[in-house]
Amino acid sequence: MPVPPVAPRHPVTTTLHGHTRTDEYEWLRAKEDPAVLAHLEAENAYTQERTAHLADLRGAIYDEIKARTLETDLSVPTRVRGFWYYGRSFEGRQYGASCRVPVTDPDDWTPPQPAADAHPDEPALPGEEVLLDLDELAQGHDFFSMGGSSVSPDDRLLAYAVDVVGDERYTVRVLDLGTRELHDDVLTDVLGGVTWGASADHFYYTTVDDAWRPDKVWRHRLGTAQADDELVFHEPDGRYFVGVGRTRSRRYVMIAASSKTTSEFHVIDAADPTATPVCFAERTDGVEYSLEHAVVGGEDRFLVLHNATGPEFELGHAPASPTAPADWQPLLPHDLAVRLEDVDAFADHLVVQQRSNGSSQVRILDLGDDPAHPVTADRFVEFPGELATVGAGSNPAFEQPTIRVGMTSLSRPSAVYDHDLRTGELVLRKQAPVLGGYDADEYEEHRLWATSVDGVQVPISLVVRKGVRGAAGTDPIPVHLYGYGAYEASIDPYFSVSRLSVLDRGAAFAIAHIRGGGEMGRHWYDDGKLAHKQHTFDDFIASARHLVETGWTTAEQIVGEGASAGGLLIGAVANQAPEAFGGLVAGVPFVDTLTTMLDATLPLTIPEYDEWGNPSDDPVAYERIAGYAPYENVADLPYPAILAETSLNDTRVLYVEAAKWVARLRERAPQADVLLRTEMAAGHGGVSGRYRAWEERAFTLAWILDRLGLADRPLLGSP
C-alpha cells in the first residue's frame, strides 16, 4: 500500500476572544515556497498511485462523454442589430469560435439554420464571419479562459478579455473586425469584459483592489493608454462589489454597488462620454434593488426589483431619475409565495423570472399606454414536468417580437425555444444532442421530501434509470448526492452528459435543495446563513438519511459531493455525520473557514461577513464559525473515504484550504482514506479546454463509482 505524504507540523498559536487555537499547517499558504509545491506534487503522486486501478474506468468514462457529445456543433444564433451571432465547436479542438452572419430580412426573426452537411473547416452559414478563434488564442497557454467579448455599437470593433493563468485577472484587447488588426489598446488586470457606451470611441470596465474585490469603474477612450483612463466610480466600502452594464434599451449605463444585503445603483447617460454617474436611490441597510429601463404606461421609467416591501421582492417602477423607495409604484406587489428573481425589459413587454414552491418560472407582462393600468396581460411560458428548469435566454434586442427561453431537467437535455409574442407559439429551435441513442424516456425523475431536524421539509430532486431498482422497484441502489446551500444560489435540476456514466451503471443522482440556497425563496436562503448556517448541514444529512429510510439506498452506498461553499458543506457533514456516507467529494472546498474569515486581507473576506459573520469583531460569530468549520473540527472519527480537489491558481477559495484540511485529517484520523488532487494550472472552475475538463470529470466520477461499488459494472444495455 502506498504511503501518504506527511506534511511537517509548524505550529502557530493565536488567541482571540478568549479562545486559543493552534494551526500546524498554515505554512502551506506560501505558494511560492518550493517545499509547498513539492508537498502538493507529492500529494498528486500519491493520489495517482492510489487511483491507478481506476485508469481503465477513467478512460472508459472519458470515451463515453466524448461519444455522447456532438463535437462539431453550432449554437442557436442570436440577433443583435444587423447580425446573427453564434458559437461553433469543432471535433478535436479544445475551444470553439464565435461567429456572425448578416441579417438578410429585418422583419424575419427566425434564426438561420446551418446546412446539415456543413464541414468544420467551412462556413456553417452563408456569409459567416469568424470573430474569434479561441483555439488560436489559447495556443501556447496551459490555461485559457474568455472573460467576455462585446461588439461595439457600430458593429466594427470587438473588445475581448482573456485569462491565461486562472486567477481571473483578464487582459482586454480591441480587434478591428474589418481589417482584423488589433488596436494598440491593451488593458490589464481587468475583471471580466467591457461595456460600450453609445458610440465606439469609449467603453467602461472594472478593476479590483488588493483583496480581489471589484471596487472601481473606469472609462477608457480608444487610442489612449490605460494609465490615462478616467475613474468614473470608486466604492471604498469593503463589503460592496461593483459591476457595470448597459440597459437593454441601450439608453443608460448602470453601475451597481452591492453587498450581500444592500445595493445602490448609479446611472450614466450612455450617449454622453463625459457624464458623471447619478445615484438613483441611496443605499439603505437591508434594502436590495436592481434597475432596468423600460417604457411603462407610455412613459420612460425605471423598473425597480426590490425587497423594500418584503423579503421575496416586488417589481416596481419609478421615474427615470433619482427616486426614493417611498415613490416606487408596484407592478407586481410582494407575494410571500413567489420569489421574483429578475426582470428583462423590452419595448412593449417585460419578462420576469421567478420561482414558486421550488420551481422556476418565466412570466410575461404585456405593457400598454395607460399609466394607471400599464400591464395589459400577465401569462406564463408553460412547460410540462414538475422538475423542469426554465429561464429566459439571450434576448439582447429591445424591440424583438420573440423571447428566447431555455428548458432542461435531470433527464431532458437543455432545449432552446423561441416564444412568439404575436402568436403565442412556442417553437423548439434546438435540443442539445446526445449521441449514441439516448432516450430520455428510459429515465425517471422524482421529487422527494426529507424532514430536517427542526421539522422543515427539504426537497430532493432525483433521477434514475428505469428498472435498476428491481422488478418491484424497491431495491436499494447506490446514490450520488449533490449539495451546495449558500449565497441564495439555486441548484435547479439540470441535464449532464457526464452523469450518464453514473446512471447507466445503476446508480441514482440526487440534488438536495438545502437551506442557504434559493430554491424555495429568499427565506430559504436567510434560514441557512449566519446564525442559521447549521440548517444547511442538517438538511444535507437529513436528505441522505431520508434516502436510506425510504429504501432508496444504504448509507454505505451514498457518495456526497459539493464544491466551493458546497465543499464547506461536505467538510462539515464529514465531521458531524461520517456514518451517513460511504464517500465524500469536496471540490475547491472552503474548509478553512475560520482562518479565512479572520483575515481581512484575503480575497473576498470582507464582503463575506454578511454571509458567514465577522469573527474578528464578533465573539459570537467566532464561536459559531469555529463550531462548524471543517478544519477546526477534524477529530479521530470514522470518516468515509474523502477526495479533495483544488486548483493552485484559484483566487476565490485558495488551494491552501484543501491542503491544510487533508494534512490535518491525516494527522488526527490516521485511519482515514483521504486523497488530495491539486490542478497546478487552473483556477476556481478547474482546468480549461473541454477535453481536459472531460478528463478531470472522468477522474472524479471514476472515484465516485469506485466508492459506490460500481467500478466494474458494465453499462446497462451493453453486450
Order the strands of the 252-258 sheet from edge to edge.
241-246, 252-258, 263-269, 278-279
Strands 457-465 and 508-512: antiparallel
Per the annotation, the verdict on 564 as an active-site residue is yes
3-state SS track over 118-153: CCCCCCCCCCCEEEEEHHHHHCCCCCCEEEEEEECC
Report the C-alpha gap between 528 and 566 in whole angstroms: 13
In the 8-state DSSP scheme, what is residue 326? G
Residue with cell 483544488: 646
Cβ atoms 339, 312 nearer than 8 A: yes
Per the annotation, the verdict on 526 as an active-site residue is no
Cβ atoms 626, 613 nearer than 8 A: no
Residue 253: alpha-carbon gap to chain centroid: 24
Phi and psi at residue 593, in whole multiples of 5°? Answer: -60, -45
Label residues 508-536 b or e (16+ Cβ within 10 Å = b): bbbbbbbbbbbbbbbebbbbbbbebbbbb
Report the C-alpha gap between 602 and 415 in whole angstroms: 40
Report the C-alpha gap between 305 and 331 in whole angstroms: 10
Catalytic residue among 167, 185, 650, 706: 650
Per the annotation, the verdict on 617 as an active-site residue is no
Catalytic residue among 75, 684, 688, 706: 684
* Grid cell in block for residue 576: 458531524
Report the C-alpha gap between 244 and 254 in whole angstroms: 6
Beta bridge partners of 478: none
Q: Which amino acid is at 44?
A: N
List Cβ neighbours of 408 (8 Å cut-off, separation of 6 or more).
Answer: 388, 389, 414, 415, 493, 494, 495
Label residues 55-89 b or e (16+ Cβ within 10 Å = b): eebbebbbebbbebbeebbbbbbbbbeebbbbbbb
Cβ atoms 193, 632 nearer than 8 A: no
Instruction: Please give the sequence-ordered ranges of beta strands (E in DSSP) within 588-704, or none if there are none.
Output: 641-647, 674-679
Residue with cell 436567510: 526
Report the C-alpha gap between 686 and 278 in whole angstroms: 39
Instruction: Please give the sequence-ordered ranges of beta strands (E in DSSP) within 385-507, or none if there are none.
Output: 389-392, 402-408, 415-420, 426-431, 443-451, 457-465, 479-482
Residue 530, phi-psi category: left (phi > 0), alpha (psi -120 to 50), beta (remainder): left
Catalytic residue among 564, 592, 647, 688: 564
Strands 19-23 and 12-16: antiparallel
In the 8-state DSSP scheme, what is residue 435? T
Whole-number CA gyration radius for the chain: 26
Report the number of secondary-structure helices (H) and strands (E) in the chain: 12, 39
Cβ atoms 146, 133 nearer than 8 A: no
3-state SS track over 358-416: CEEEEEEEEECCCCCCCEEEEEECCCCCCCCEEEECCCCCCCCCEEEEEEECCCCCCEE
Strands 558-563 and 479-482: parallel
Residues tagged active-site: 564, 650, 684
